[in-house]
């Protein structure tokens, strides 16, 4: 099993090999395509810079996605439960979720200026839709008998929400959270290239201006690694919170 997991490293190893061969063959001058060792050196020499920027990016995503979660989950639970709210919001959700958050950067800067505010707002938006839509979807998928059980027991609406609708929707909410974190991470890097003066996005854009392609590549590696780590964390949280699902679904995904 462990050996099978290692299979996932093969494409990455091949990529490294191709990179190494390209450097050896001098396909591009070293200023553009630095050797692997030089990029690794960034993690030693420029470690504080990289960590600082990474932390500001992570902080923004946590702030933005927390806001998405706080808004989307309660709202989604209610839209999924109440037909009239669904009718009221359905079209708006379908329209606004089709707008890429990146395309709102110019507006965000006009209204919110330069800094954390526009960046976090855009992350909030990019996480909002996947969370909202998956939460609604989760509520819809609830077994009808379970709602009948609650009604027959004359359970109060709040108890129904807390003990039945929310847990029933949790697996879908976590699917939404995975997508939201992914979308938020994509958005933060882009937003940082335009709207703020810190973060990994800013770091790699700035590195381009100073011809530090080693720093650019190091930044990209960090972005990818954090993206992978964040996804794994959400999956871990999901399998803990939804452990009642073990053996209930076809695959342990």
Partner 1 sequence: MNRFIECAGVGKIYPVKTESVEALRGIDFTCDSGDFVCLLGRSGCGKSTLLQLVAGLEEPTAGNIAVAGKTLDGPSPAAAIVFQDHGLFPWMTVRKNVEFNMKARGVAAGERTATAAQFIEMTGLTGFGDRYPHELSGGMRQRVGIARALTTGPRALLMDEPFGALDAQTRGKLQDELLSIWEKQRTTVLFVTHSIDEALLLADRILVFTPRPGRIAADIKVDLPRPRAPQSEAFSALARELRGLIGADRDFD
Contact residues: partner 1, CB under 8 A: 143, 145-146, 148-156, 159, 163-164, 167-168, 170, 242, 244-245, 247-248
Q: Which is nearer to partner 1, 45 or 143 (CB)?
A: 143
User: In the bound complex, what is the minimum distance in angstroms from residue 160's beta carbon to partner 1?
Assistant: 9
User: In the bound complex, what is the minimum distance in angstroms from residue 81's beta carbon to partner 1?
Assistant: 16
Q: Which is nearer to partner 1, 145 or 210 (CB)?
A: 145
CA distance 77 to 79: 6
Burial class (CB in 10 A: 0-12, 13-18, 19+), 151: exposed
User: In the bound complex, what is the minimum distance in angstroms from residue 166's beta carbon to partner 1?
Assistant: 10
Q: Which is nearer to partner 1, 4 or 145 (CB)?
A: 145
User: In the bound complex, what is the minimum distance in angstroms from residue 15's beta carbon to partner 1?
Assistant: 42
* Cβ-contact 222, 158 below 8 angstroms: no
User: In the bound complex, what is the minimum distance in angstroms from residue 145's beta carbon to partner 1?
Assistant: 4
Q: Which is nearer to partner 1, 91 or 158 (CB)?
A: 158
How many Cβ atoms from other residues are within 10 Å of residue 150's Cβ?
17
* Contacting residues for 120 by C-beta, under 8 A, at least 6 apart: 60, 63, 64, 67
Q: Which is nearer to partner 1, 109 or 150 (CB)?
A: 150
User: Between the CA of residue 29 and those of 17, 19, 49, 126, 213, what are the distances in Å?
Assistant: 18, 13, 26, 38, 11
How many Cβ atoms from other residues are within 10 Å of residue 41's Cβ?
14
């Amino acid at each position: 099993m462990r050996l099978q997991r290692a299979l996932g490293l093969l494409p990455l190893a091949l990529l490294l090999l191709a990179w190494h061969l390209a450097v050896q063959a001098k396909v591009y001058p070293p200023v553009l395509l630095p050797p692997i060792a030089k990029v690794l050196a960034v993690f030693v020499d420029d470690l504080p810079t990289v960590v600082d920027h990474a932390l500001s990016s992570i902080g923004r995503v946590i702030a933005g996605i927390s806001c998405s979660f706080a808004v989307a989950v309660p709202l989604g639970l209610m839209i999924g439960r109440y037909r009239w709210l669904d009718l009221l919001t359905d079209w708006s959700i379908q329209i606004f979720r089709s707008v890429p958050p990146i395309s709102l950067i110019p507006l965000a800067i006009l209204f919110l200026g330069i800094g954390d505010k526009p960046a976090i707002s855009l992350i909030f938006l990019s996480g909002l839709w996947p969370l909202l839509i998956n939460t609604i979807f989760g509520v819809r998928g609830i077994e009808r008998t379970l709602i009948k059980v609650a009604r027959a027991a004359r359970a109060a609406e709040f108890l129904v929400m807390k003990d039945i609708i929310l847990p029933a929707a949790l697996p879908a909410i976590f699917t939404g959270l995975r997508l939201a974190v992914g979308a938020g991470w994509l958005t933060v890097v882009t937003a940082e290239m335009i709207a703020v003066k810190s973060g990994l996005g800013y770091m790699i854009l700035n590195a381009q201006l100073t011809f530090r392609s080693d720093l650019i590549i190091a930044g990209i590696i960090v972005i990818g690694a954090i993206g992978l780590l964040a996804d794994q964390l959400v999956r871990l949280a999901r399998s803990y919170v939804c452990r009642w699902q073990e053996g209930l679904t076809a695959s342990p995904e």
